[in-house]
Amino acid sequence: MPDSPIHAVLLYGPEGSGKTTLADLISQSWLCKTPSEGGACGACQACQAFSRARCADYQRIVPVGPSNWIKSSAIYPVPNDDDHRCVPVTQYFRTAPLGSRNKVVAFEDADRMNASAANALLKTLEEPPRYARLVLTTRHLGRILPTIQSRCLGVLCEMPSAEQIDRMLPDLSEAHRTFAHRSPAIASVMRANPEAFGPLLDFAALLPGRPRTHALTATEEFLTHAARVEKAMNAGARFANTKALEILGEALAVRTALGAARTQAVVEAHRRIVGNGNPSVVLDGLFSAILAESP
């Protein structure tokens, strides 16, 4: 977006619709010193710093903690909050960019902001310094303040069709194609990290044939696979556990005649882990249920 008067973009759509990828492309084109109509140049100092994740003019803000909120201290300085993961946005935008064309702040799950944080962000959106740029992503547009929506360029991200996925990722294996329909982003990560995802798929394939007594070892094995997924996706443990469970659930459904009760058990385990349940306890229950009918 060279010399565009747009200061803020709000990307909304379901998980897997490419919001994060698009947010990165927009961020880089705003940072890039010599962008063209096609986006960032990929070669300038700003582009190189961005691709090495060492760009001082770019900040990414994500929800944190057990309650999964974007803290007020991410937007404005809060006394006695010693979380130094990022500089508060209001403070960050007080100084001009160091080596890039603009300064960019990207928000993931922007709906996870409390009212005081959202209102403080609104002030920045109303009168941004000329070099300030913001990219917000959300799966829940209805939870974003209308006043914030009205100050952003809204872009709907839709799930790609099967044909579009084939064009984007032409050489996908059958297993990865299954997951790509849920999320092309995850399919790409899976394809790039076979050492992390292959063992999980093998685990899923063999699981239904294992004896009932394996339920507890299955939990340990699953957590080992999930830890590899965590590393490959560069994500937190809870996120990796839920992604690994989704992959397990789909693999079980595709490769085995998984009964409705077992499918329901995977869905229920997923719900409990997302809702902060203890992964070991939840998984012990899940694998006991899946292996209950085994010899």
Q: Which range touches Zn ion (CB under 5 A), out of 29-37, 61-69, 111-119, 253-261?
A: 29-37
- Residues 105 and 132: their CA atoms lie apart, in Å, by 8
Give whichever of 97 and 160 is closer to Zn ion, judged by the CB atom. 97
Restricting to residues 109-168, which ones interact with Zn ion according to CB under 5 A? Answer: none
Q: Which span sits near Zn ion by CB under 5 A: 24-32, 53-61, 71-79, 249-257? A: 24-32
Nearer to Zn ion, 100 or 138 (CB): 100
Task: Indicate the burial class of 21 (C-beta count within 10 angstroms; 0-12, 13-18, 19 or more).
Answer: middle
Q: What is the dihedral of CA 35, 41, 45, 51, to 10 degrees?
A: 120
Q: Which helix (H) or strand (E) holds 105?
A: strand 103-107
Of residues 45-104, those binding Zn ion (CB under 5 A) = 47
- 87 Cβ neighbours under 8 A, 6+ residues apart: 59
Q: Rounded distance, CA 107 to CA 23, Å?
A: 9
Nearer to Zn ion, 30 or 203 (CB): 30
Q: Which two tokens stand for residue 36?
A: 């063209």
Q: Which is nearer to Zn ion, 29 or 138 (CB)?
A: 29
Token representation of residue 139? 């799966």
* Distance (Å, whole) CA 282 – CA 236: 18
Can you tell me which of 2, 21, 24, 41 binds Zn ion, judged by CB under 5 A? 41
32, 49, 121, 125: residue in contact with Zn ion (rule CB under 5 A): 32
Q: Of 43-51, 87-95, 174-182, 253-261, which segment contacts Zn ion by CB under 5 A?
A: 43-51
Task: Find, among 273, 274, 178, 194, the residue nearest to 232 by Cα.
Answer: 194
CB 102, min distance to Zn ion, A: 12
Q: Which residue's CB is nearer to Zn ion, number 21 or number 68?
A: 21
Pairing of strands 103-107, 58-61: parallel
> Minimum CB separation from Zn ion for residue 168, in Å?
24
Q: Does 44 bind Zn ion (CB under 5 A)?
A: yes
Largest CA distance in the chain: 68
Q: How far is the CB of 32 from Zn ion (least distance, A)?
A: 3
Q: Shortest distance, CB of residue 58 to Zn ion, whole angstroms?
A: 13
3-state secondary structure of 171: coil
Which residue is associated with the tokens 């685990």? 203
Taking the least distance from each CB to Zn ion, the nearer of 42 and 285 is: 42
Which part of the chain contacts Zn ion (CB under 5 A), choosing from 39-47, 124-132, 178-186, 266-274? 39-47
* Closest CB to Zn ion among residues 1, 44: 44
Binding footprint of Zn ion on the chain (CB under 5 A): 32, 40-41, 44, 47
